[in-house]
Amino acid sequence: MRIALDAMGGDHAPEEIVKGAIEAASEMDINILLVGRPEAIEPLLQQAPATVRKRIEIVAASEVIAMDESPATALRKKKDASIVVATRLVKEGKAEALVSAGSTGAQMAASLLGLGRISGIDRPAIATILPTLEGGKLLLDVGANAEAKPKNLLQFAMMGSVYAEKVMGISNPRVALLNIGEEETKGNELVLSTYGMLKEAPLRFIGNVEGRDLFFGRADVIVCDGFVGNVVLKFGEGMIGALTKMIKDELKNSRLAQLGALLATPALREMGKRLDYAEYGGAPLLGVNGVSIICHGSSKAKAIKNALRVAQQGVEERFIQAIKDHIPGKGDPV
Amino acid sequence: MRIALDAMGGDHAPEEIVKGAIEAASEMDINILLVGRPEAIEPLLQQAPATVRKRIEIVAASEVIAMDESPATALRKKKDASIVVATRLVKEGKAEALVSAGSTGAQMAASLLGLGRISGIDRPAIATILPTLEGGKLLLDVGANAEAKPKNLLQFAMMGSVYAEKVMGISNPRVALLNIGEEETKGNELVLSTYGMLKEAPLRFIGNVEGRDLFFGRADVIVCDGFVGNVVLKFGEGMIGALTKMIKDELKNSRLAQLGALLATPALREMGKRLDYAEYGGAPLLGVNGVSIICHGSSKAKAIKNALRVAQQGVEERFIQAIKDHIPGKGDPV
């Protein structure tokens, strides 16, 4: 299996990206196409053992799209950007999946343009794994769209259910709608309309869940619009950061507190890592016609390696085909 | 100062409500009107010292609105409900503020009906104190409205700014919009339209903040619609609950971990308490023409006492008048 990896995307590119590729190629049965400037990538590959090195190939791309560039403009102007070339490799069948820690907007636009949407899907969604007391659950959309219609949320639910079953191994996953109350009559217009559609859909829809339910694993797939999902995800990140800082501050107070802080750190760090979707291995962009894994901009080698693993699983479990099988096509009645 | 307290509202009513009233009357310079069934309240007041007892008066109300009743129907049917009678006391000038841990919907409806809105305010907002590394900040709306328009968010910002200045003592508070990116061009239609209005408003508007910024105190007043605010607030509650459970589970593993968990508990508990707006003392319902403090349904004596303190401060600082002074009235141009 070949996976295209954008060597130039992210805060720590290309060093940490290449390092992650080397680690992944050592541990996993994959070939990696590192896309970017050969002169930047080649020297970093020196550290790889020969057996690993031969499983990594460099594919030249002369340009890079910066985090703060407008995705639409950048894609128009930079035909030879690493994310564009990496996407093209998937489109042309030279790679089976794509991983990038570069601009999320650019990756979304390149994936939509280069790979196209799955028939019957109007908009893609970014799905992230949320850690809960009952294991990892899927939350989507966490930011592909700032605005959503009921039919979008329905499609997110369908795709999420397929992904949870195929890739996460949760059989007959419970799908829920993120809302401000459990009752069917609660919520804004968007969720009220969506509720009725989810009830009728071929899903195991269990109704509404509230924010406080998320960590207790009451649902396997939680659907919300990308605005709410993004705010909530970042709120969680910030909260873990603040708690960690509060506990570190305790270090200054006493030896006893110091010990406590040290001992409690693993649980916090574990939860913090999982909330950071990069650390968890990248978030699949569901709805495009190909495996496209989005990494956090701050990804380091470990996150990249984990994202490559998510890409590998996605290809192996053929979730794109599974989504196609479950989503009524454009001509079909919804 | 007299404060009307709904003795019958909440999961632990009337026992914990009366207990909270006794504690508040012991510590603070207020008189409390306990509203509810005298036969249920009277025996609980036996425990109060005579000096405290004489500062607590029982006002009879024969009915109670349950948590799961439809607020509109309940208010129509139960004319002698404790929340209705308590609100009437404020309306008639027999009390200066109202506190309840009963149904939030019923309290909102009773406050709107009984006290009316402040002129120029289309919808009220529930404002809660969010703990941050830089002290308590104000987040609103956390659930008064599932849906909001830009002009509502503008009004929330104006009211929140006044409340932060008058009651929380933050001079010239920084107001921000909760969004999925910092740039002015980010977000859904609601926040994009609101951004422009906030820029023009007589506020210290500092732009957008993301979910992860909330705990680092970058803004003093954070504005969002009630759907987003409610989901985020409950997400925080759930996360604290899950973390606490994770740390408790560590207790089973080893003596060392046990010690760490014990030592780290205070920081978590502190943050958990603050996130629970009941524990923080209740959340003001901003926009109605009177001081109406909403407590969490699970409030115990301490939360009730703190809510009475919030009510007392609200009356003392005359924030209702301050909001009126700052909000253009109905006839005025906005």
SS (H, E, C) A309-321: HHHHHHHHCCHHH
In whole angstroms, how far apart are CA A225 and each of A53, A124, A143, A274? 42, 11, 8, 21
In a domain, B326, yes or no: yes
Do both A214 and A247 map to the same domain?
Answer: yes
Q: Which of B77, B92, B105, B88 is nearest to B35 (CA)?
A: B88
Do both A232 and A311 map to the same domain?
Answer: no
Q: What range does the domain containing A158 cover?
A: 128-279
Give chain B positions within 8 Å (CB) of A211.
230-238
Mean pLDDT of chain B: 90
Nearest to A263 among B234, B241, B259 (CB): B259
C-alpha span between A119 and A324 (Å, rounded): 7
In a domain, B282, yes or no: no
Give chain B positions within 8 Å (CB) of A228.
227-228, 231
Model confidence band, residue B26 (pLDDT cutoffs 50, 70, 90): very high
C-alpha span between B197 and B236 (Å, rounded): 29
In a domain, B78, yes or no: yes
Instruction: Give mean pLDDT, residues A301-325.
Output: 95
Give the phi and the psi of residue B36 in degrees, each rounded to 5. 165, -160
Q: Could you read off the pLDDT of B293-306 as tens digits, one per residue?
A: 999 888 999 999 99
C-alpha span between A105 and A102 (Å, rounded): 9
Q: What percent of chain B has pLDDT over 70?
A: 88
A187 to chain B, any CB pair closer than 8 A? The answer is: yes
The separation between the first and the last C-alpha atoms of chain B, rounded to the nearest angstrom, is 35
- For B185, other C-beta atoms within 10 Å of its C-beta total 9
Question: End of a domain among B254, B277, B300?
Answer: B277
A243 to chain B, any CB pair closer than 8 A? The answer is: yes
Does A230 contact B211 at a Cβ distance shorter than 8 Å? Answer: yes
Does B243 contact A187 at a Cβ distance shorter than 8 Å? Answer: no
pLDDT at A260 over 90: no
Does B236 contact A233 at a Cβ distance shorter than 8 Å? Answer: no
Do both B25 and B97 map to the same domain?
Answer: yes
Model confidence band, residue A135 (pLDDT cutoffs 50, 70, 90): confident
Cα of A149 to nearest chain B Cα, Å: 12
pLDDT at B140 over 80: yes
Instruction: Give mean pLDDT, residues A276-292.
Output: 83
Do both A22 and A158 map to the same domain?
Answer: no
Do both B250 and B326 map to the same domain?
Answer: no
B261 to chain A, any CB pair closer than 8 A? The answer is: yes
A133 to chain B, any CB pair closer than 8 A? The answer is: yes
Q: Tell me which residue has tokens 């014990």.
A: B262
- For A1, other C-beta atoms within 10 Å of its C-beta total 14
Q: Which of B34, B29, B28 is nearest to B16 (CA)?
A: B34
A264 to chain B, any CB pair closer than 8 A? The answer is: yes
pLDDT at A278 over 60: no
B238 to chain A, any CB pair closer than 8 A? The answer is: yes
Instruction: Give mean pLDDT, residues B195-216.
Output: 95
Q: Could you read off the pLDDT of A287-298 as tens digits, one per residue?
A: 999 999 999 888
Higher pLDDT, A91 or B278: A91
Residue A267: DSSP 8-state: H
Model confidence band, residue B33 (pLDDT cutoffs 50, 70, 90): very high
Q: Roughly what angle, to the nearest 10 degrees, separates helices B255-275 and B226-250?
A: 160
Do both A164 and A197 map to the same domain?
Answer: yes
Cβ pairs A/B, distance under 8 A: 168
Does B211 contact A189 at a Cβ distance shorter than 8 Å? Answer: no
Do both B199 and B96 map to the same domain?
Answer: no
Give chain A positions within 8 Å (CB) of B210.
231, 234, 238
Do both B45 and B97 map to the same domain?
Answer: yes
Q: Are A64 and A57 in contact (CB under 8 A)?
A: no
Do both A114 and A133 map to the same domain?
Answer: no
Question: End of a domain among A279, A300, A321?
Answer: A279
> Domain tally for chain B?
2
In a domain, B134, yes or no: yes
What CATH number is given to the structural domain containing B48?
A: 3.40.718.10
Do both B170 and B97 map to the same domain?
Answer: no
Question: End of a domain among A253, A279, A305?
Answer: A279
Q: Which of B228, B198, B42 is nearest to A180 (CA)?
A: B228
Closest residue in chain B to residue A212, using alpha carbons only: B238
Instruction: Give mean pLDDT, residues A310-322.
Output: 96
> Both tokens of residue B203?
């506020």
Do both B240 and B273 map to the same domain?
Answer: yes
In a domain, B211, yes or no: yes
Mind giving me the DSSP string for B9-21?
A: -STTTTHHHHHHH
Q: Which of A71, A89, A128 is nearest to A284 (CA)?
A: A128
Do both B108 and B142 map to the same domain?
Answer: no
